[in-house]
Structure 1
């Protein structure tokens, strides 16, 4: 198999993954989450708070000076995690991650098995 054929097979695998129930559910959950204005506003606030915390940490400011930002972030995250659309999105995201990990593990196993077979063939 040459490299062009390998990339073609990779494209086929990608298409199969894109059509999987996990990816379809992820896109649906993402659509519902994007349609939830309060959740989006809260996520934007959380990103801003996290950026501020990262800035303080990068400047090696003692945490006691930005503890209020950490508490605000934690509180906002707790509120976000109560929104059904956020919960559904997180679940869908985890399912996609699990699928991709399984595919990666399966590919690694197949490659390692092929390498082991080649080594055995070379010993004979």
Structure 2
């Protein structure tokens, strides 16, 4: 009986999250990108809560599992990042690394203002937190 109640609660939580992304406003993508030299870089655009909700690993959502992924990426001359690799995922095997990779196209920076960054690599931590 307890298992059924937990399943119903999990389904209710999933339905609430799907129909009302505002519940997920605490899903966080830090606005700072840590460069190889340790300095913080500011973005023009980053993924929002709805973006993270769209890529949140379904198994992690069902288990109410939170976690993060760290990506290592290169700054492109288009104002985007690319050649991203997952360098850390926690918990390991949770799917948060793959989910973070699906968000790469949401990042934008000003390539004119930051011309010195083109071709440089940096790390971005994407945190997946349930409210």
Q: TM-score, normalised by structure 1?
A: 0.25
Structure with the largest fraction of strand: 2
Structure with the largest fraction of helix: 1
Q: TM-score, normalised by structure 2?
A: 0.24
